[in-house]
Amino acid sequence: MSWIREYTLNWFQLLALKIIRTGHVPKHVAFIMDGNRRYANKQNVAKIEGHVRGFDKLAETLSWCRDLGITEVTVYAFSIENYNRTKEEVDGLMELARRKFMRLLEEKDKLVEQGVCIRVIGNLSLLPEDMRKLFAEAMIITKNNNKATLNLAFAYTSRDEITHAIKDIAGGIKHTDILPEDITEDLISHCLYTYKSLNPDLLIRTSGEVRFSDFLLWQISNTCVYFTDVLWPEFSVWNLFSAIFYYQRCYSDLQKVAKVQNSKPIVHNDRVSMYINKLHHERQIMIENMYLSTVQS
Ligand code: FPP
Ligand code: MG
């Protein structure tokens, strides 16, 4: 199935969508898409089929988000912890991602037309080379698209992300690009894999599990969190609407917190600004090198 599909809502769903759009719609929504295997079990199909249906649900959810005016979505597609699953399941998930990214590259024109930018966030060094190349290619060819962003967390955990940020900062100090007193929360945020994004406004986790599973721990300190019992492949547009209604009820409290936090403007000294630019440039070059090796091979 394609990443970009048109799903038509019925008149009642469209009415609910219009009502929701009169209120504050979150700009950035993150999803922990949990419950694929329980769904497979319930349907008496193979585990991997649960993940395939999970992907189809992602494509459908992206179209609902677009209709709602949500401009950024971040999804937990593969945790580093998932490497502890059976080889058969890990291989199955990798193969699914491979197939879907090949499809995505074939649909390049559709992505450009809809202005969708794809970013893979995670520890790419933990992935097979061919997947790194596919991910790099998808990121490069969509990098100038600016209507919507999909961040796909793959080979990701928050602790790994924060560990890498600390290593980058330690390297910056070692090479005297920055000084220990330059370390601030803002500098750390700029060193995370998510440095190009604002923090999510809303996090949705399906399947009744009430925990974060090492997902965006740094980024969700003031995010509205919505847990629902529905298994991810059964997630419906009504479940999404309920989550947005919940967000809208929390909105005024969230605004108060944001006001306090944004009251102090962040000013970087030149040293820190130069270091951040250098780091981001190096990361971009790394992705471009992965992509160039695809073109040359
Ligand atoms: C959690 O359900 C889901 C995953 C570990 C994988 C999520 C992946 C997808 C939805 C497919 C996305 C693919 C691409 C290429 C973007 P679970 O396996 O933990 O199920 P359970 O909680 O019922 O055991
Ligand atoms: Mg699970």
**C-alpha to C-alpha distances, 81 to 132, 229, 268, nearest whole angstrom:** 19, 22, 35
pLDDT tens string 127-176: 999 999 999 999 999 999 999 999 999 999 999 999 999 999 999 999 99
Domain 23-158+194-263 sits in CATH at 3.40.1180.10
State the pLDDT at residue 57.
97
Residues with CB under 5 Å of ion ligand 2 are 34
* Residue 24 DSSP symbol: P
Q: Which residue's alpha carbon is at the smallest distance from atom 7 of ligand 1?
A: 77
User: Around Cβ 277, how many Cβ atoms within 10 Å?
Assistant: 11
- Pocket around ligand 1: residues whose beta carbon is below 6 Å from it? 33-38, 51, 54-55, 58, 77, 82, 96-97, 100, 152, 207
pLDDT tens string 235-289: 999 999 999 999 999 987 888 777 777 666 677 899 999 999 999 999 999 999 9
Alpha helices in the chain (DSSP H): 11-21, 36-43, 47-68, 87-106, 108-114, 129-142, 158-174, 185-191, 237-261, 270-296
Here the tokens at position 50 are 């649960």
State the pLDDT at residue 23.
95
How many A from CA of 33 to the centre of ligand 2? 8
Q: Which residue's alpha carbon is at the smallest distance from atom 6 of ligand 1?
A: 77
- Residues whose CB falls within 8 Å of the CB of residue 89, separated by 6 or more in sequence, listed in order: 47, 48
Ligand nearest to the CA of 230: 1
- Residue 69's identity, in one-letter code, is G
**% pLDDT > 90, the chain:** 87
State the pLDDT at residue 263.
65
Q: Which residue in this structure is represented by tokens 């970013």?
A: 119
- Residue 98's identity, in one-letter code, is R
User: What residue spans define the domains of the chain?
Assistant: 23-158+194-263
pLDDT tens string 14-59: 999 999 999 999 999 999 999 999 999 999 999 999 999 999 999 9
Residue 261: burial class (beta carbons within 10 Å; 0-12, 13-18, 19+): exposed
Q: Which atom of ligand 1 is nearest to the CA of 40?
A: 23
Report d(CA 67, CA 17) in Å as an integer.
8
* Residue 200 DSSP symbol: P
Q: Which residue's alpha carbon is at the smallest distance from atom 1 of ligand 1?
A: 34
Chain length of the chain: 297
Tell me how far apart the terminal alpha carbons of the chain are, to the nearest angstrom.
Answer: 28
